[in-house]
Chain A
Amino acid sequence: QKEVEQNSGPLSVPEGAIASLNCTYSDRGSQSFFWYRQYSGKSPELIMFIYSNGDKEDGRFTAQLNKASQYVSLLIRDSQPSDSATYLCAAASNFGNEKLTFGTGTRLTIIP
């Protein structure tokens, strides 16, 4: 069974520090990886996606992918209280991205 695993947290990070969120996946055939942010009681919103090994930066966010280690991470620089949320990692096993497997999410709290 294809699985995506995340540390459920909670992860507490001081304001202004770097938050590091990690995710591992079991299916070596996974092609694309997605990070979503979900505020309590709300629906997930896309932060960024990555499908090539290495780093991808978008503003304060950096996604990192290592397919050999089956490992994906999300770094949040200069963490803000508004970054406090649950972060969901997802993997797509096909190029069409129709079938996303989600992790259970990591709850992040930014401490002012």
Chain B
Amino acid sequence: SQTIHQWPATLVQPVGSPLSLECTVEGTSNPNLYWYRQAAGRGLQLLFYSVGIGQISSEVPQNLSASRPQDRQFILSSKKLLLSDSGFYLCAWSSAGGTQYFGPGTRLTVL
């Protein structure tokens, strides 16, 4: 069966510091991968999605970036965090055209 991992589970970072969140999927090949952010009291916001290695689509212009260095690895990065970057970051996977399944998430607090 497929398993999706995210780390770290929680993170507290100062404003202006860099960020790297990692997501890996097991038990499937060539998945579609997604990064979402859920801010307090708001809905899930799609940040990036990828249909293959090196293929990244950005949905929201901001100070975040994503990379997919391997088939089942998806990384969310920032060079300088803002207070507004605080939130619950969720990675999801799907097969092509399939339903999205979420990882456990990373709770990020920017101070």
Residue positions of A touching B, CB distance < 8 A: 4, 34, 36, 42-46, 49, 88, 90, 95-105
How many chain B residues touch the partner (CB < 8 A)? 24
B51 cross-chain contacts in A, Cβ below 8 A: 98
User: Would A88 and B98 count as touching, CB distance under 8 A?
Assistant: no
**Beta-carbon contact of B99 and A104 below 8 Å:** no
Q: Across the interface, do B46 and A95 meet the contact criterion of CB distance under 8 Å?
A: no
The interface residues of chain B lying within 8 Å CB-to-CB of A44 are: 44, 90, 102
Task: Determine if A100 and B46 form an interchain contact, defined as CB atoms under 8 angstroms apart.
Answer: yes
Residues of B within 8 A of A (CB): 32, 34, 41-46, 49, 51, 57, 59, 90, 94, 96-105
Contacts of B41 in A (CB 8 A): 104
Which residue of A has the minimal Cβ distance to B100?
A100
Return the contact of A98 from the options B49, B90, B101, B103 (Cβ within 8 A). Answer: B49
| Neighbouring A residues of B59 by C-beta, 8 Å | 99
Q: Name A89's closest neighbour in chain B (CB-CB).
A: B43
The answer to whether residues A103 and B49 also contact, given A34-B99, A44-B90, A44-B102 and a CB cut-off of 8 A, is no
Partner of B43, one of A34, A42, A88, A95: A88
Residues of B within 8 A of A49 (CB): 99
